[in-house]
Structure 1
C-alpha cells in the first residue's frame, strides 16, 4: 500500500486515546504511521517514525492527539506543513483552536479541529455512541470524512475552527453539573439504610426526565420571553431551595455544590425575574 494512498495516515501521540484511534484505523485496513514524544509501545501493525517531522511528512493526513495546544505547536514547529492536512484531536479551548488554525495555515497546511465525545474504550466499538465534533476547513473535512468516521461518528459543526472545542467544552460543562448533582444526592442518602445501587436507577430516570428541560430553555433564549410556558416559576424554586438546604444540614452534607447556582437564582428573583423560569440565570452568567 502506498504511503500516500487514501488508506494511510499519521497519528501523533500514543496516549490512551491516540492508541485507541490508531488501533481502530489499523483494524479498518489503514496504514498508520505513528510517533510519540516519549518511548511507548505502538499498536501492532503501526509504523513507528523516528521523528515528528518524519511522521508528519510521511502522509498527507496527520492526526494529532497530544497533551495540549502547546505540545501540538512544539511537535510541529519547524516541520514543513506544505500540503499537509492537520486534524487536531487534542483538547483545547475555542481561542486556542482558532489560533492554531491560523498557525497551521500560515505554514501551508489545512486545519481541522476535533472534540472527542468518548473515552478510549468507546473508540472503534460498534454502537458505543462515540462521536467527534469537527470544525475548520470544509475542504479538509470533505476530503477525509470517510477516514475520520472510522474510529467514531462524526458531526461537522462549521468552518469556524473554534466551534468543535466550544461544543465539546459546553457539553462537558453540562456533564459536570449533572455529576455534581449526583454527588450531592448520594451524599444525602449516605448515612441512611438506603442502597446506593438501588437508588441509582431512580436518580438516572429522574435526570433523564428533567434533561428535556433544556429544550424549553433554548426556546426561551431565542424568543427572549422567559415566562413562556412556565409551570414552576423562579420565585417558587428559590423558596423550595430553602428546604433543600435544610435537608442537607440535617443529613450532615455540605451544600457547596448547590449554593452557587442557588445564589444566581436568588439574584435573578431580586432583579425582578420571579415569574420567569431559570433561563435568566444564563443572562447573569454572560454579564
Structure 2
C-alpha cells in the first residue's frame, strides 16, 4: 500500500518535528513556511517544498497546520478555502476551545474535514509512541487517518466536540505546572537538609503512582457529586499540611504554594465539609 501524502504548513520547531516524523515513516511530505529557508533541511531529507499555501494544500488529502496561533491559521487558510474543500485539515496549533469550535464550524461550512489536536510533548518527543497526541472532531475522520497520525505519537480520540483537544491541553498543562511547583517546593525542602534532587525525585516519582491511584478514585466521587472521607478527610489533611509548613519555615523555604492548598482546605472546613475527602475541594474551584 502506498503511504499517504501529507502536507505540513508551518515549520517552527514543532512543525518541523511533525514533518520529520512523517518523512521518517515514509510518507511523501510537502512543506510550506512563510520563511522558505526553514524548509531547507527537510527538503534535503526528501520533503517537497511548496512555493505557496495553495500549492501546499493541493498536494495532499491530509493537511496538517501548526503555526503560531489561531489568527495565523485563519490568515493562511481563509484565502485557500476552496482548495481545501474535500480535504482533511488537522489543526495542531495551540488555541482555545472556543477557537477550535469556530474553526470546526468554518470547515464544516466549506466542506472541509476537520480534526483539532494538541501535541502533548515537546518537539524532541514527536514520533515517540509513549507520548500522546490528542484529537477531537469527527470520529470517522479520526478512524480513517489514525494509522497515519500514529507516526507522530499515540493518537488519543476525545470524541466529536472539536473544542476538547484544546480544553484537555489547557487542563493538562495546568496539572503539569502544579506538579512541577509541588516537586520543586519539596526538592527545595529536602535539599535544605542536603538531599540531592535526583535522590528525592526517585522516591517522588514512585509516590506519584500512588497519587494517580487516589485521583482515579476521587474522579468517581467528583462525577457522583459525593465525597465520602473513607480514606482521609480534609480535617486530617489540614493537620498534616501543618507539618509541611513548619518544616518549610524552619528551613527558609517559600511556603506560598502549600499555603494556597491550606487556604482551600480551610474554606472547605469552614463550609462544614471537614469530614469529606480531598476531592470536595473541586467545589472551591467551581466558584
- Aligned residue number for residue 28 of structure 1: 25
- Aligned residue number for residue 117 of structure 2: 114
- Aligned residue number for residue 185 of structure 1: 186
Aligned partners of 1:42 and 1:48 also within 8 Å: no
5 Å-filtered alignment, 1:19-58, equals 19-38=16-35, 39-40=37-38, 41-43=40-42, 44-58=45-59
Counterparts of 2:266 and 2:122, CA distance in 1: 37
- Aligned residue number for residue 63 of structure 1: 64
The one-character-per-residue Cα deviations of 1:148-181 (angstroms, maximum 9, x if unpaired) are 1122111111111011222222222222211111
5 Å-filtered alignment, 1:127-142, equals 128-142=129-143
- Aligned residue number for residue 101 of structure 2: 98
- Aligned residue number for residue 278 of structure 1: 278
- Aligned residue number for residue 14 of structure 1: 11
Unaligned stretches of 5+ residues in structure 2: none
**3-state DSSP of counterpart to 2:256:** coil
5 Å-filtered alignment, 1:82-97, equals 82-97=85-100
Aligned partners of 1:11 and 1:34 also within 8 Å: yes
User: What's the TM-score once normalised by structure 2's chain length?
Assistant: 0.91
Q: Hey, which of these two has a bigger chunk of helix by percent?
A: 2
RMSD: 1.8
Counterparts of 1:262 and 1:34, CA distance in 2: 51
The one-character-per-residue Cα deviations of 1:75-113 (angstroms, maximum 9, x if unpaired) are 112112211211011122211111111122223312101
Aligned partners of 1:34 and 1:42 also within 8 Å: no
Runs of 4+ that moved beyond 4 A:
none
Counterparts of 1:201 and 1:102, CA distance in 2: 47
The one-character-per-residue Cα deviations of 1:16-44 (angstroms, maximum 9, x if unpaired) are 22112211211222111101122313412
**3-state DSSP of counterpart to 1:193:** coil
Counterparts of 2:140 and 2:79, CA distance in 1: 25
**3-state DSSP of counterpart to 2:145:** helix
Counterparts of 1:259 and 1:99, CA distance in 2: 39
**3-state DSSP of counterpart to 1:248:** helix
- Aligned residue number for residue 214 of structure 2: 213
How many residues are aligned here? 281
The one-character-per-residue Cα deviations of 1:20-79 (angstroms, maximum 9, x if unpaired) are 221121122211110112231341211111122221122221001111211111111211
User: What's the TM-score once normalised by structure 1's chain length?
Assistant: 0.91
Aligned partners of 2:53 and 2:76 also within 8 Å: yes
